[in-house]
Amino acid sequence: MNDAVTRVFVASRNAKKIQEMERILAPLVPDVTVVGLDDVPFYEEPVEDAPTFEGNALIKARAGFLATGLPSVADDSGLCVDALNGMPGVLSARWGGRPRGLDLGRDQRNNELLLDQLADVPDAARSAHFTCSVAFVWAGGESVVEGRMDGRVIREVRGSGGFGYDVLFEADDRPSLTTAELSREDKDAISHRGKALRQIGPRIAEALGR
């Protein structure tokens, strides 16, 4: 088997996200190496301007496949808060805006803004869910799946694991703990990304002839 079919490209520089994908894909697609943007020659990343998670995931996966020639996986995910009419949604990663002056870090800006926007929302109305669309593009075609994790936004930051809004989110399947307080195994079992990757894993295996 040549190198082009023993590696899968993940269109991301987020080390935690790549590791999470690798953990979940490992038992489904044995012996396949997952590589990220920092492991391949530079290419111009596309603008994620689709109005849906599925559309943005496809934009990234198609660009990755064209640039690398490798079977390419990309995801787009975000937090959808009921009290905010489903926002931040596809804008989750940039909800807090561009850095200004002394940058606090993107995740911290996003989380502080979200807490401010929900400050007057009672606990019973703080329901939310994470959505993740994962797109897989290879020589034989394209496939997109979606995963969802329901829960609620709490009032204070808790936990040191995960990334993004994990420190503010309690999943219905693991009440009283934020997803940043869960073990990697627990989070993988219930997360939106974990659910989507477990759906796409067999399709990747089939595409690679496993």
pLDDT in tens, 52-87: 999 999 999 999 999 999 999 999 999 999 999 999
- 55 vs 161: which has the higher pLDDT: 55
The answer to whether 16 is a known ligand-binding residue is yes
Q: Is 15 annotated as a binding residue?
A: yes
Domains detected in the chain: 3-207 (3.90.950.10)
Average pLDDT over residues 121-147: 96
For residue 43, name the pLDDT band (cuts at 50, 70, 90).
very high
pLDDT digits (tens, 9 = 90+) for 179-193: 999 998 899 899 999
- Quote the pLDDT of residue 210: 67
What are the residues whose beta carbons fall under 8 Å from the beta carbon of 36, sequence distance 6 or more? 9, 10, 11, 12, 13, 14, 15, 18
Q: Check the annotation: does 187 bind a ligand.
A: yes
Give the mean pLDDT of the chain.
90
Of the residues 38, 39, 76, 82, only one is catalytic, namely: 76
Residues 151-155: what's their mean pLDDT?
Answer: 98
Active site residue 38: no
Residue 169 has pLDDT above 90, yes or no: yes
77-86, 97-106, 157-166: which is most confident = 77-86
Query: Does the annotation place 163 within a ligand binding site?
Result: yes
Q: Is 192 annotated as a binding residue?
A: yes
Neighbour-count burial of 116, counting CB atoms closer than 10 A to its CB (0-12 exposed, 13-18 middle, 19+ buried) = exposed
Instruction: Give the global pTM.
Output: 0.87
- What does the pLDDT read at residue 5? 52
For residue 90, which phi and psi values (nearest 5 degrees)? -65, -10
176 assigned to a ligand binding site: no
Would the pLDDT of 102 be above 90? no
The answer to the question of whether 165 is labelled as a binding residue is yes
Query: What is the pLDDT at residue 103?
Result: 47
